[in-house]
């Protein structure tokens, strides 16, 4: 019987064609282009490769796809992925057709190749490989593939609430998304920061006014907006001043510190990554700020005249957009409520609009599933795995940890320079193969341990 390396090598042309076909289906969640074609193709993969029927879970947006494959034991793992992709715009910045799989210098290029179609099909192909080599699964495998991750997974919580007791009964959730470490070493993530996105608008009149004729009569919206921001953030102390904001912020444990100390770190690579010079943080400070500290970010601010020369006006309005990353036990509902109270102090001029709200998540660092996942990743890549206690970004893992109440492991299959959401999105060919092998070994190792 062939081993996994031989099997992948012998079947790689077929694997590549399957990936190529999935890419051509598009599946842009913001416009709906190719959504049904993508759903149909993913369904066919489950049916033809894994011998299982799927159920389409309807939402008020794009549907989710559910599949269930029985195994020899009652242990059950739910794998999660998403089939939707970001818009390829600006298309003129691409070096190839974004919806045609292109290979160059051992990399595949296409929209969604890294985020998340390449990772999704690597999961399916890894399971297919296991089934072909071993005839049956050692435990129950379930799969949920959603179609709105790139739009904030707005309907995923309702899907999990509606089908949680029957379709999604499971022991463990494995989320495959994101990027491996820049060193090429595999990564296991145990949690992620939460997120609040909102906009504050200050409107003082129906139109711009002459700054002489209306000066001292009409308030300036930029100044009012600045006063609001100063109520939310202290620029002197460089800290967030939203009432009770830091409630729930918890320091890393000794085990989490040990994991952080084992992550490769170089100031030069960090500086290159962010396009800045003179990064002042050491490794512990760097990862503490990324994983265990909340953020306060003004992502956009605009008002008035910004052209050449002078235009003496009092703008009619000023708008600022914010995003706040949350950690550990911070409560986004309570924090958002306290932000609204600050804005209400400036009524009737100021209004607030909330866009996204995700709580942070964290799987117990002592979970028995962690070491099994590490063994699988190291077997697939022949490299020592990295454990990240927290992912700096935000994904909707709270639906698994908070609604489904299950431990959740996040395992990325894409390279660190995948350019997801940007032109020339790519996936290294070897990384794609390791993703297939990782799925195979996850089944093999969890089958032995549980």
Q: Which fold has domain 4-192+360-449?
A: Aminopeptidase (3.40.630)
Nearest 5 degrees, angle CA 417-CA 358-CA 275? 30
Q: What is the distance between the alpha carbons of residues 56 and 66, in angstroms, rounded to a whole number?
A: 6
Q: What is the distance between the alpha carbons of residues 173 and 79, in angstroms, rounded to a whole number?
A: 6
* Residue in the structure block whose two tokens are 């003082």: 204
Q: Report strand pairing: 233-234 vs 137-146.
A: unpaired
| pTM given for the model | 0.91
Q: Parse the chain into domains and list their residue ranges.
A: 4-192+360-449, 194-250+292-358
Please report the beta strands in 304-379, taking only residues with DSSP state E, as ranges in sequence order. 313-314, 317-326, 350-358, 361-362
* 450 residues of the chain, pLDDT tens digit each: 679 999 999 999 999 999 999 999 999 999 999 999 999 999 999 999 999 989 999 999 999 999 999 999 999 999 999 999 999 999 999 999 999 999 999 999 999 999 999 999 999 999 999 999 999 999 999 999 999 999 989 999 999 999 887 777 899 999 999 999 999 999 999 999 999 999 999 999 999 999 999 999 999 999 999 999 999 999 999 999 999 999 999 999 999 999 999 999 887 777 787 888 778 888 899 999 999 999 999 999 999 999 999 999 999 999 999 999 999 999 999 999 999 999 999 999 999 999 989 999 999 999 999 999 999 999 999 999 999 999 998 888 999 999 999 999 999 999 999 999 999 999 999 999 999 999 999 999 999 999
Q: Which fold has domain 194-250+292-358?
A: Alpha-Beta Plaits (3.30.70)
Please report the beta strands in 153-293, taking only residues with DSSP state E, as ranges in sequence order. 172-175, 187-189, 191-192, 194-203, 209-210, 233-234, 239-240
């Amino acid at each position: 019987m062939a081993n996994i390396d031989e099997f992948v090598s012998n079947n790689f042309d077929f694997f590549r064609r399957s990936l190529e076909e999935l890419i051509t289906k598009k599946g842009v969640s913001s416009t709906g282009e190719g959504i049904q074609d993508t759903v149909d193709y993913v369904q066919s993969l489950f049916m033809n490769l894994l011998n299982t029927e799927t159920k389409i879970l309807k939402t008020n947006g794009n549907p989710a796809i559910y599949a269930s494959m029985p195994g020899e034991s009652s242990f059950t793992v739910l794998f999660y992925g998403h089939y939707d992709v970001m818009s390829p715009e600006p298309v003129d910045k691409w070096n190839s057709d974004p919806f045609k799989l292109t290979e160059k210098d051992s990399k595949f290029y296409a929209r969604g190749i890294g985020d998340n179609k390449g990772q999704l099909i690597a999961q399916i192909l890894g399971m297919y490989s296991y089934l072909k080599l071993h005839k049956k699964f050692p435990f129950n495998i379930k799969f949920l593939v959603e179609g709105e991750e790139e739009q904030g997974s707005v309907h995923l919580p309702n899907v999990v609430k509606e089908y949680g007791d029957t379709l999604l009964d499971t022991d463990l959730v494995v989320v495959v998304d994101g990027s491996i470490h820049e060193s090429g070493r595999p990564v296991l993530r145990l949690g992620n920061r939460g997120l609040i996105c909102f906009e504050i608008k200050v409107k003082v009149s129906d139109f711009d006014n002459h700054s002489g004729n209306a000066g001292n009569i009409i308030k300036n919206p930029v100044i009012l907006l600045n006063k609001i921001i100063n109520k939310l953030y202290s620029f002197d102390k460089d800290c967030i001043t939203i009432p009770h904001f830091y409630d729930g912020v918890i320091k890393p444990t000794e085990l989490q510190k040990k994991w952080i100390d084992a992550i490769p770190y170089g100031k030069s690579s960090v500086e290159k990554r962010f396009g800045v010079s003179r990064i002042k943080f050491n490794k512990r400070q760097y990862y503490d700020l990324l994983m265990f500290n909340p953020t306060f970010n003004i992502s956009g601010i605009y008002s008035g005249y910004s052209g050449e020369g002078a235009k003496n006006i009092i703008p009619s309005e000023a708008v600022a957009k914010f995003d706040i990353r949350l950690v550990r036990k911070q409560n986004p509902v309570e924090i958002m409520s306290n932000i609204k109270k600050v804005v209400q102090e400036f009524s009737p001029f100021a209004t607030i609009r909330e866009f996204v709200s995700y709580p942070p998540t964290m799987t117990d660092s002592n979970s028995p599933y962690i070491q099994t996942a590490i063994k699988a990743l190291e077997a697939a890549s022949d490299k020592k795995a990295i454990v990240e206690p927290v992912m700096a970004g935000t994904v909707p893992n709270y639906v698994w940890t908070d609604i489904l109440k299950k431990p959740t492991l996040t395992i990325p299959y894409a390279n660190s320079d995948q350019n997801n959401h940007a032109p020339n999105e790519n996936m290294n060919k070897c990384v794609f193969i390791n993703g297939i092998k990782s799925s195979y070994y996850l089944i093999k190792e969890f089958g032995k341990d549980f």
